[in-house]
Amino acid sequence: MSKKFNIAVVGATGAVGNQMIECLEERDFPIATIRFLASSRSAGQVLEFKGRPVLVEELKADSFAGIDIALFSAGGDRSREFCPAAVRAGAVCIDNSSAWRMDPDVPLVVPEVNADAIARYTKKGIIANPNCSTIQMVVALKPLHDAATIRRIVVSTYQAVSGTGKQAIAELEKQVRDLFNGRQAIPKVYPHQIAFNCLPQIDSFEENGYTKEEMKMVNETRKIMGADIKVTATAVRVPVFYGHSESVNIETEKRLTVAQARVLLENAPGVRLVDDPAERSYPMAIAAAGQDLTLVGRIRQDESIENGLNLWIVADNIRKGAATNAVQIAEILVQKYIKR
């Protein structure tokens, strides 16, 4: 591509911001200039982009002059405050927080599932990146839904600590070291010890007894898939650094055999089929970490209902679940929509 674009990464010093920078490098995004923005605490740090130093600047309302695309991963409050400022300056915002996801005027996009929705960015100048656990699930379920129409989804997630950020990664590391050295594991990021433990709480609880994370999966899945699918979720934090795993049960209108599902998934964009029980081959977090495909396996008929399948879905939550998905959206923007 001969055209090049001015890019801002907001929240550049965070786990997802770091990965956005790496993805822009890896995918050779057509960049004219790049600007790294963060809070006042992080301003002044120096990060690298393609081997050259880039100073991290403090995020302010006037930070977006001349920017074409702003990739946001700085939390919902900052997105609500600064995305409108970026849009007024002429940028298109791709936001990784939950701030805009359910806004009816903001497209919620997973390129393998609903790339056409990107065209609606002009309503507010913002495109929302879905929740990490939602992204990998809909990537895997889209071809099955197209073939047999999914009526109901039951999902249980096993989510890595990196989904909470750098402090959570450090907390798990420290707790493991402390426990192995006979010291007490003191929780600070999470309400309980995460090392060698599972926490059936991600985000705060709502009045219906579900957590915000669980309701994100319910509501976002319906919006992305464009269908009134019944969804119920249980989200669990597990002592894994990178890679979310999901046990997913679907009920479809038409019967879908295991063999048919495997063929569909083998040919689905963004999916790698890893499903050979005889060879003990199935998706694992350690295999998903560091790459962008969604791994699907353990496909089996649900024998308790007429048209049901069980699947095990794994992806790197920082890459495809956040940074890579945002960069993929940006790639489509510059290929099809933004003219320079």
pLDDT of residue 86: 98
Examine the domain organization and report whether 150 and 190 are in the same domain. yes
Q: Is the same domain home to 162 and 263?
A: yes
Residues 168 and 247 in one domain: yes
Q: What is the 3-class SS of 213-228, one letter each residue?
A: HHHHHHHHHHHHHCCC
Number of domains comprising the chain: 2
145 classed as catalytic: no
> Do the beta carbons of residue 283 and residue 158 sit within 8 Å?
no
Do residues 243 and 288 lie in contact, with contact meaning Cβ atoms separated by under 8 Å?
Answer: yes
Q: Is the dihedral of CA 170, 171, 176, 180 positive or negative?
A: positive
The pLDDT mean for the chain works out to 97
CB count in 10 Å sphere of residue 151: 16
237 shares its domain with 103: no
Distance of CA 179 to the CA centre of its chain: 31
The residue-averaged pLDDT of 238-255 equals 98
Share of the chain above pLDDT 70, in %: 99
Catalytic residue among 132, 145, 192, 198: 132
CA separation for the pair 133, 190 (Å, rounded):
19
Active site residue 132: yes
Output the six-digit token pair for 218: 């319910």
Q: The domain that contains 112 carries what CATH number?
A: 3.40.50.720
Predicted confidence at residue 339, as pLDDT, reads 75
Domain extent, residue 71, equals 5-129+322-337
Clarify whether residues 181 and 214 are in a common domain. yes
Q: Are residues 187 and 329 in the same domain?
A: no
Q: How does 178-210 read in b/e, with b if 16+ C-beta sit within 10 Å?
A: eeeeeeebeeebbeebbbeeebeebbeeeeeeb
The predicted-structure confidence for 179-218, as pLDDT tens digits, reads as follows 999 999 999 999 999 999 999 999 999 999 999 999 999 9
For the segment 170-185, the average pLDDT, to the nearest whole number, is: 98
Which is catalytic among the residues 83, 93, 145, 244?
244
Q: Are residues 88 and 54 in the same domain?
A: yes
- Residue 283, pLDDT > 70, answer yes
Q: Are residues 204 and 75 in the same domain?
A: no
Same domain as 264, residue 149: yes
pLDDT of residue 115: 98
Q: What is the pLDDT of residue 2?
A: 73
CA distances for 159 relative to 19, 172, 313, 327, angstroms: 18, 13, 12, 22
What pLDDT band is residue 316 in, cutting at 50, 70 and 90? Answer: very high
How high is the pLDDT of residue 1? Answer: 53
Task: Name the residue type at position 147.
Answer: A
Residue ranges of E strands in the chain = 5-10, 31-38, 46-49, 52-58, 69-72, 92-95, 126-128, 150-159, 230-237, 244-252, 271-273, 294-301, 308-315
> Which tokens go with 174?
């420290």
Cα(256)–Cα(242) distance, integer angstroms: 32
Q: Report the CATH number at residue 233.
A: 3.30.360.10
Tokens of 111: 């390129």
Whether residues 162 and 254 fall in one domain: yes
Q: Are residues 147 and 295 in the same domain?
A: yes
287 shares its domain with 305 = yes
Q: How many residues does the chain have?
A: 340
pLDDT of 159 above 70:
yes
